[in-house]
Amino acid sequence: MANRNLLLIFVIVSFFVYSSLSQPLKTTCNGVFLSYNYTGGYPIPPTDPTNQPYRFESTVTVLNNGRDELKSWSVFVGFQNNEVLVSATNALLADGRSLPAFVGNGTVLVGSSNTDLKSAIETAGDLTQMEVIIQLVGTRFGNRNGTLDAPLPLNLTLANDGYSCPSPTRQGNELQLCCTRDLNAPSNITLENFQPRKDGDLIIMYDIIRTYETDYWAQVSISNHNPLGRLDNWKLSWDWTRGEFIYAMKGAYPSVVDTTGCVFGPQGQHYKEMDFSQALNCERSPTIVDLPPTRANDTQIGLIPFCCRNGTILPPNMDPMQLDKAGPGFEKAYSFNGSVLPNSSNIIFMQGLPDFNYLVAEMDGANPRKDPRVPGTQQSVLSFTKKKTPGIDVADGDGFPMRVFFNGEECALPTIRPTNNGRKAIATNSAFSSLLVLALFLMYW
C-alpha cells in the first residue's frame, strides 16, 4: 500500500512540475493563436491499395489573444493529400464554393456566423466572442509519404493583412502557431476568385435587421459604384449553410418558386405545423431577380426603396437625382436637361425631358407597305462659349466628344467629323448626329 501511495504522489508532483515548465502556446500567445488538430479517421470504400480514400475529422481553432479586434478572420489550411472537404462548422470557403469541394491544393476558411473575433480586453475574457472552433469532416487519399502518420496540412497561417505568422510547430497530431500584430505585414495568401471586403464597382450587402425565435428578416442591397457602366438584368445567388429557406420576400423574387425540398427535407421535419404552400423557395442556392416597375407599389411584394427596375441599376453619375447636385451646363442645352457633373469640368450629363418622349416613338417608313418602321429621334443643340478656351481649333477636332455613353453603354463614334460645307457632309455624318442626339452621358477632353 505504501508503494502505491508513493507512486501516486510521484505522478501528481511530476504533472505539476511539467505544467509549470511548459506552458501551452494557446496560453502564452499574445496575438492570434491558430491550431489544426487531427482527431481521427478511417478507410472508406472503395478499397484501393494504390489510392485508398479515408474519412478524416479535424478541428481548426482561431483564438484572438491580442489587443485589437480581428476583423473578418481568414485562415489558410495547406491541405496536401487531395482532400475533399465535406463539411465545416462556423466557416465557409473564401472563394465562395459550396461543399463538398476539392481543397487538395489548400484553401482559405472565413467565418460564417462569427466573422469578427473580439479581444479579451473588450469582452472581459469571454471566449465565446474571442474564439471560433471549426469542425472539419472530409475525404483524403492517403499520405504522400505512404505512411499511416496523422495527415496534417503542409501549412497553416492567418490570411489577414497586418499579422506576421511563423511556420507552425507540430505537437503530436496538432499544428500550432501564434501570429503577432504587424501593420506592415501583408498577407502572402492570394485568392483567385475572391477579394476581401473593399470598395468596388458593385457592392452587395446582406444585413440581418430583425430576428425572432425561428426566423429572421434580412435586407439585401446592391449598389453600383462604377462611374460609367450600368448593370442590366441582375441576378443574385447565395448558398445557405444551415438549411435555411425563403418564406417571404419584398422588393425582389426567387427565379424558381418551389417548396418541395422543404416538405420532404429536414425543414419539414423541424417545422411540422408550417404550411409550406405559403413559402417561396427551398433551394440550397436560390437565385433572386428584380421585379418589373408595375410591382413597385404592390403591398405584398413591393413598396421597397429602389426596387422594381427590371434588373437595371444605373451608375451614380447617371442617376436622375444627381441632376439636382450638378452645376449649370456649358453655355446652354436645348430640348435636353444638360448639366455638368459635380467635381468635373469635362463631363456633361444629359437627360431627355418627359414632355418630349413621344418624339422617340417608332414611326412608319416613307412607304408603309414596303418600308420598315423607323425609330424616332430627339434632337438637341448644345451651345458653347470660348471665353475660357480661346485657343481651341474646331476644324482640327477640338470641342468634339472623345467618348459618348448612352444609358451606361459606350457608343461607337464615327471617324468623320461633321462639317458645314453642304448637305452632303451633313448627310454623311448623320450617324454621328444620331449618337450625339441620343447621348444620355457625354464626355470630352
Give the pLDDT score at 110.
92
- The runs of H, that is alpha helices, within 139-226 are none
Identity of residue 431? A
Which DSSP state fits 435?
Answer: H
| Greater pLDDT, 325 or 411 | 411
| Greater pLDDT, 227 or 321 | 227
**The pairing of beta strand 107-111 with beta strand 91-93:** antiparallel
- Strand-pairing partners, residue 77, are 107, 156
Q: How many CB atoms lie within 10 A of CB 297?
A: 9
Most confident of 61-70, 308-317, 416-425: 61-70
Confidence band, pLDDT 50/70/90 cuts, at residue 308 = very high
User: Does position 170 have pLDDT exceeding 70, yes or no?
Assistant: yes
Give the pLDDT score at 11.
30
- Strand-pairing partners, residue 297, are none
Share of the chain above pLDDT 90, in %: 41
Contact (Cβ atoms closer than 8 angstroms) between residue 167 and residue 114: no
User: Does position 435 have pLDDT exceeding 80, yes or no?
Assistant: no
Rounded distance between C-alpha atoms, residue 235 and residue 298, angstroms: 21
| Greater pLDDT, 372 or 226 | 372
Share of the chain above pLDDT 70, in %: 78
**Which of 195-209, 309-323, 420-434 is predicted with the least confidence, judged by mean pLDDT?**
420-434
Q: What mean pLDDT do residues 198-216 have?
A: 81
Give CA angle at 433 (361, 325), nearest 5°.
Answer: 80
* Closest by CA position to 436, among listed 362, 333, 357: 333
Task: Report residue 376 CA to chain centroid gap.
Answer: 40
Q: What mean pLDDT do residues 344-359 have?
A: 76
> What order of strands is seen across the sheet that includes strand 347-352?
327-328, 336-340, 347-352, 441-443, 403-406, 409-410
| Greater pLDDT, 22 or 36 | 36
| Greater pLDDT, 412 or 120 | 120
**Which of 23-37, 166-180, 265-279, 383-397 is predicted with the least confidence, judged by mean pLDDT?**
383-397
Contact (Cβ atoms closer than 8 angstroms) between residue 107 and residue 192: no
Q: Residue with C-alpha cell 496534417?
A: 152
Give the pLDDT score at 324.
46
Q: Which domains does the chain have, with CATH numbers?
A: 23-181 (2.60.40.290), 202-295 (no CATH), 317-443 (no CATH)
Is residue 332 classed as helix, strand or coil in its secondary structure?
strand
Give the pLDDT score at 419.
65
Q: What mean pLDDT do residues 33-59 have?
A: 94
Q: What would the grid cell of residue 221 be?
A: 442591397
Identity of residue 288? I
Segments of 353-438 assigned E as strands? 382-383, 403-406, 409-410
Give the pLDDT score at 6.
33
Confidence band, pLDDT 50/70/90 cuts, at residue 427 = very low
Confidence band, pLDDT 50/70/90 cuts, at residue 208 = confident
Give the pLDDT score at 399.
75
List pLDDT tens digits, range 232-285: 899 999 888 778 999 999 999 999 999 999 999 999 998 888 999 999 999 989
User: Does position 414 have pLDDT exceeding 90, yes or no?
Assistant: no
User: Does position 187 have pLDDT exceeding 70, yes or no?
Assistant: no
Identity of residue 289? V
What lies within 8 Å, CB to CB, of 118 at 6+ separation is 64, 69, 126, 129, 130
Region of residue 210 (left: phi > 0; alpha: psi -120 to 50; beta: else): beta
Q: What would the grid cell of residue 292 be?
A: 418589373
